[in-house]
Amino acid sequence: MNRTFWITALVSFTNSLSFTILIPILYLYGKQFNLTDFQTSLLFSIYSVAQFFATPVIGKLSDRVGRKPLLIISLAGTVIANLMAGTASTAGILFLARFLDGITGGNASVAQAVVSDIVPPQDRAKAFGIYSAITFGLAFILGPVISLIAQSFSLGAGFLVASACALLSLLITVFFLPETLQTKAAKATNIFDVGIGNLVKGLTIPKVGILLIINFLIGTTFTIFTFAFQPYFINVLNQSSQSLTLMFVMFGAIAILMQAAAIPVLVKHISLVSILLVSILARSLSFAIMPLVPSIIYFVGVSLIFSVFNAFVQPMITTLISLNSDTKTQGTALGLNASYLNVSNAFGPIIAGLIVNQSDFNTYKYPFYLAGFLTFLVWIFAIAKRDQFTPTAKPSHS
Model confidence over 198-232: pLDDT tens digits? 567 777 777 888 998 999 999 899 989 988 888 88
Helix or strand (DSSP H, E) at 210: helix 208-231
- Structure confidence by residue, pLDDT tens digits, 299-326: 999 999 999 999 899 889 988 888 887 7
Q: Which domains does the chain have, with CATH numbers?
A: 3-179+195-388 (1.20.1250.20)
Q: SS3 helix, strand, coil % of the chain, rounded to 5?
A: 80, 0, 20
Q: What is the DSSP letter of 326?
A: -
In Å, how far are 71, 112, 310, 352 from 355, measured between CA atoms? 38, 35, 24, 5
pLDDT at residue 398, as a whole number: 41
pLDDT at residue 396, as a whole number: 45
- Structure confidence by residue, pLDDT tens digits, 38-51: 888 888 888 878 87
> How far is residue 279's CA from residue 262's CA, in Å, rounded to a whole number?
13
- Structure confidence by residue, pLDDT tens digits, 89-135: 999 999 999 999 888 876 777 888 888 888 887 787 778 778 877 77
Which residues, including other chains, have CB under 8 Å from residue 201's CB and lie 6 or more apart?
Answer: none
> How far is residue 214's CA from residue 30's CA, in Å, rounded to a whole number?
30
Mean pLDDT, residues 346-370 taken together: 85
Are the C-beta atoms of 199 and 78 separated by less than 8 Å?
no
